[in-house]
Amino acid sequence: MASLISRLILKLIGWRTVFVPPPGPKSIVLVYPHTSNWDFPTGLLFRFKHQIFIHWAGKDTLFRWPLRSFFLALGGVPINRRERSGMVEQLVAAFARNDSFHLCITPEGTRAKTDHWKAGFYRIALAAQVPVGLAFIDYGKKCLGIERWVMLSGDEEADLAMLRDYYATKTARYPEKAGDIRFKPRD
């Protein structure tokens, strides 16, 4: 029923979807660009339409009463971003202890303009040895989806160049807020 309703809503608002299923029971779904609060409900419609259960990480302040149970039921994983608490290790462990685990990550980590991506998704994908789904919400074409799966090589520059090429044609709701596809330089 949720699939039918989501399909109808997407059609009514003029959106189309593209979906290549994950190649296995575990993956990271990388969503870029992420510049609007509308990305979340639009992404949920996609998820329900295609009947794929995807976990997502969100700041722990979202998981307060009265929405805590609702967000957990939707696959939310609360993350404390105020302190360095081993988020990568915790998520790698979640991959290890679950037979099926798909984790959605927005590499910008915020809807505001950033000059770099957070590298957590990259470290998680390499450590858990899972494929990365290249997901998008393209407001210019009113299309969202996952149309390609890749295994990251561990060569950051080559992998980031591939991601820049792929996402070059995707338009954010607020293009001026789309983060640069690069990692923060190391000290």
DSSP-derived secondary structure for 103-152 = EEE-TT-SSS--SSB-SHHHHHHHHHT--EEEEEEETTTTEEEEEEEE--
Residue 83: pLDDT band with limits 50, 70, 90: low
Mean pLDDT of the region 141-161: 97
**Predicted local distance difference test score (pLDDT) of residue 85:** 63
**Predicted local distance difference test score (pLDDT) of residue 84:** 66
Provide the whole-model pTM: 0.89
pLDDT tens for 28-69 read 999 999 999 999 899 999 999 999 999 988 778 889 999 999
Integer Cα distance of 45 and 60 in angstroms:
23
Residue 111: pLDDT band with limits 50, 70, 90: confident
